[in-house]
Structure 1
Amino acid sequence: MTDRHPLDLPGLRPLWVAVHDRLSTGRPVNRVRSGPLDDAGREALADLLGLDRLPGAEPTVPLAGLDGAVLEVCGRPVRDVVTAIVGPIHDRAAERELAAGRREALWGWLAGHEVVTAQPVLLEWVGHLRGNGLVDGSPDRTRGLLTAALTVLAALPADGEPLPALAARLLDGDSHALDDGTRLSGLVLRALAVLYGTDMPDAAEGRRALWSRAGVADDELSTSVLAVGLRPDGGGPVAGISRTCADAGHPVSLTLAQLRTPGDFTGPAAPVHITENPSVLALALRRFGPHCPPLVCTSGWPNTAVIHLLRRLADDGAPLRYHGDFDGEGIRIAAHVLARAGAVPWRMAATDYRAAVPRVPSGPDPGRLTPAPWDRALVDSMAELRTAVVEEVVADLLLDDLADHCHG
């Protein structure tokens, strides 16, 4: 058992606690207000400081005078005395600065994560999370949870997996990690709501619908993708159906179920162009008929079947080139396709937009704008001109590009 410090008197305990607290702020300290002291404490303080009268019950003590007094009594400065009596002195200012730095580093890491930079609209999600603060006040716990959320977002749209199966595959076998009501599920759903431009659902039915939109437990029969001019090699049913439709100058609609079990199927190594709107496919068929080059339509936000087919074509060596509407939603869809399917932009630069605006002198407003990762100047131009340009307006330019890739 250690010996008790000679100045560790019950009556002086409020003084030492007050000094310890002030020194732990990390800021310069000149005076310390103590108390309330009982009579024994007032007498002990008067003796310690050499006062000719008793101090009040809540005295303000000059730190320099107190330091000199304890040096004379025990040969140690007041910092050593309060450390011995109360405990280690902290530096709360430095601790706050360190904590603030760790928080800034966390949000900087999240904003710079590849999942967010690939789809900059997710910076709105980052801002919302930052405004709500850390999970349990811990940067480490928050980063762990965000890492799990980013892992899930990077895997979406899913391939029609049930939610428990998706969770088990991505999150260390924990099939309940994305159960409704968990923090992680809420984080991912809020990111999806930002991505798709919808409100955060407040009912279980709405949350299930949002998961479904992201390809979780999709109906593999009703989920389909529209394409024209697609002539894959192979003797499987999907390859055969696609070639038959292409040779006849017709579109082909492939379901997720067919794409999951395509049989013998190898996509073309030639470029595959992608559009956002089915009307562009119709115009391409009208112009090229059976000679139409490969063209896939996302029909707005791409579903699981669209992404599944595009990834398959990319894996087989086909360069993917994407064009969509020049409006806020179109830019977000484009960023999504580029990030999820590995496509590159096709006539989607700021110069393309500026050249197209004169075609629609009284065009609609482009709506909510978020950055385009492939061209920083694009959204600046859209914010300046405030005119949306849908694909149909520039369809002639797109078809001229496709003419260089016609079959036969």
Structure 2
Amino acid sequence: MTAPERVEHPPDAEALAFLTRPGLTRLWTAARTRLERNGLQPAGTLKLDHLDAQEREALSLLLARPISGRTATVRLPDLDSRLRASAVGRGLASTLEELGPPLTDRRAVRDAAAAERARLWSTAQAEVEATSLSAQPWTAQWLEEIRRSGTLPRQEPHTATTVITQAVQTLATLFPGADARPTPASWGRGELATRTTGSAHGLDDGTLLSRWVLRGIALARDVEFPGDAPARRALWRMASVTPDEVSSTVLAYGLRPIGGTWREAALRERADHHMETHVTLRELRALRLEMPQRTRVHVCENPRVVEAAADTGRTAPLICTSGSAATVVLTLLDALAATGCTFAYHGDFDWPGIALANRIMQRYEAEPWRMRAADYEYLAIRTRTQVTPQIALTGTPTEAMWDAELAPAMDALGVALHEEAALDLLLEDLG
């Protein structure tokens, strides 16, 4: 037969009055500290020094042995047994619970915290390994800095997991691998936050997530972590993130949408007066960019083409990427594509220009606009004949998806040609 479980009852009033006498206060304080460190087990020995008469008397009665000196040694197993056998009728841990606040198993707390830290870092590392960050040389330092800061374990577990996961996803979005699907070259911060956190305010200043993302950007760009708001905005821009939806604009010309609001009417009026327009992302969200079916829209890389088109009164719709496929640029082109517009693209004859052209042509099935090998060779010969200073072609060769002969021709001649070299020809095409 198994022994019946011992049921501990609260001490009676007389026993409780004895336990709470001032002469035992130091004993209970020391015992509480030791038990909380020992996993709530009554093990080890306490030494109480400089005892006064009141303490010696109380300890003598409690331990059932005379305490006459200024120092007393108390074995916690003996104290536990003594309490159980006395009128108190319960062990040391239960007695301390009765006398004061609940005991904290600090060893268990430490073990749980260590396990939680291990789980969080395992989660973080797994998230990194599943993204393009695994190939970034600064990722290990970023994780180590977060670990050393001690910030992560202080968060509620669900919050900590969410924030570290979102930080990894945000940085992976900003620094995609070579084989990643095309993403905007720049983002509005609210747009990026919505993409990676579900909330447009997820990357607002002062949030833990924004600090961790900025720390990753600083490491990626090899700059100091920003100490003030202007420096933080500058760092966001270093990662092609604009803090709002009005700072980033797309340069447009000759757009004549058929929508009936004042916004569409303003674009038509500016087109009639041969005036270019800088359109913000916020404006694009409000515009109804419905165009006549099969409207042919020309897309260029450099603002000088738009300026020249306006100066010479050209009428064809023209969009400028300003050297990058920023979010606001793609937003406008997406809206035009949705109404059935077709596109023709021209950019610089250099390797970054070819890479950008690939993105635009692939995304919108755009036709090359004087961007074939024959066009490049003609311009290269013409600039040389005109004794125009030549710009050396540098960087890693990039194959043009629309013309297999273009990259070899550029590599062979080794000359970079900006759009301005073809400006007269482009203006002819713009009518």
- Please report the TM-score for the alignment, with normalisation by the length of structure 2: 0.51
Specify whether residues 52 and 202 from structure 1 end up closer, same or farther in structure 2 by C-alpha distance, changes over 3 A only.
Answer: closer
TM-superposed deviation, 1:195:
2.2
Q: Provide the rounded CA distance (Å) in 1 between the counterparts of 2:349 and 2:145.
A: 35
Match of 1:260 in 2: 331
Q: List alignment gaps of at least 5 residues for structure 2.
A: 1-9, 176-183, 243-247, 253-293, 302-318, 366-393, 407-431
- Does 1:82 pair with 2:105? no
TM-superposed deviation, 1:211:
1.6
TM-superposed deviation, 1:8:
1.9
Superposed CA offset, 1:218-260 (max 9, x none) = 45449xxxxxxxxxxx86424799xxxxxxxxxx984446543
Name which of 189, 206, 211 aligns with 1:186. Answer: 211
TM-superposed deviation, 1:123:
2.4
Match of 1:51 in 2: 65
Greater relative CO, 1 or 2 (CA 8 Å, sep 6+): 1
Structure ID, larger Rg: 2
Identity %: 26
Match of 1:130 in 2: 147
Q: Provide the rounded CA distance (Å) in 1 between the counterparts of 2:49 and 2:12.
A: 26
Name which of 133, 143, 165 aligns with 2:161. Answer: 143
Q: Provide the rounded CA distance (Å) in 2 between the counterparts of 1:106 and 1:42.
A: 51
The answer as to whether partners of 2:251 and 2:321 remain within 8 angstroms in 1 is: no
Which stretch shows the higher mean deviation, 32-41 or 191-200? Answer: 32-41
The answer as to whether partners of 1:17 and 1:86 remain within 8 angstroms in 2 is: no
Q: Provide the rounded CA distance (Å) in 1 between the counterparts of 2:203 and 2:402.
A: 47
Partner letter of residue 132 of structure 1?
Answer: S
The answer as to whether partners of 1:31 and 1:62 remain within 8 angstroms in 2 is: yes
Q: Provide the rounded CA distance (Å) in 1 between the counterparts of 2:68 and 2:210.
A: 64
Q: Provide the rounded CA distance (Å) in 2 between the counterparts of 1:139 and 1:60.
A: 42
Partner letter of residue 210 of structure 2?
Answer: S
Name which of 189, 200, 212 aligns with 1:163. Answer: 189
The answer as to whether partners of 1:259 and 1:309 remain within 8 angstroms in 2 is: no
Q: Provide the rounded CA distance (Å) in 2 between the counterparts of 1:403 and 1:164.
A: 35
Partner letter of residue 130 of structure 1?
Answer: R
Q: Provide the rounded CA distance (Å) in 1 between the counterparts of 2:359 and 2:12.
A: 76
Q: Provide the rounded CA distance (Å) in 2 between the counterparts of 1:311 and 1:72.
A: 86
Q: List alignment gaps of at least 5 residues for structure 1.
A: 223-233, 242-251, 268-276, 282-294, 298-305, 317-389
Partner letter of residue 8 of structure 1?
Answer: L
Specify whether residues 206 and 65 from structure 1 end up closer, same or farther in structure 2 by C-alpha distance, changes over 3 A only.
Answer: closer
Superposed CA offset, 1:52-103 (max 9, x none) = 34343x5221223323322331343333333332354433222212211211
Q: Provide the rounded CA distance (Å) in 1 between the counterparts of 2:190 and 2:74.
A: 64
**What is the SS of the residue equivalent to 1:52?**
coil
Specify whether residues 210 and 197 from structure 1 end up closer, same or farther in structure 2 by C-alpha distance, changes over 3 A only.
Answer: same
Superposed CA offset, 1:200-219 (max 9, x none) = 23344433232223332345
Name which of 48, 58, 61 aligns with 2:74. Answer: 61
Q: Provide the rounded CA distance (Å) in 1 between the counterparts of 2:28 and 2:404.
A: 85
The answer as to whether partners of 1:151 and 1:170 remain within 8 angstroms in 2 is: yes
Q: Provide the rounded CA distance (Å) in 1 between the counterparts of 2:155 and 2:49.
A: 35
- Please report the TM-score for the alignment, with normalisation by the length of structure 1: 0.53
**What is the SS of the residue equivalent to 1:237?**
strand
- Does 1:14 pair with 2:32? no
The answer as to whether partners of 1:31 and 1:60 remain within 8 angstroms in 2 is: yes
**What is the SS of the residue equivalent to 1:60?**
strand
Match of 1:23 in 2: 35
**What is the SS of the residue equivalent to 1:61?**
strand
Aligned Cα root-mean-square deviation (Å)? 4.5
Aligned pairs, how many? 278
Superposed CA offset, 1:160-210 (max 9, x none) = 5543555467555454x5344443332221111222333323344433232
Q: Provide the rounded CA distance (Å) in 2 between the counterparts of 1:261 and 1:237.
A: 11
Partner letter of residue 90 of structure 2?
Answer: R
TM-superposed deviation, 1:49:
2.0
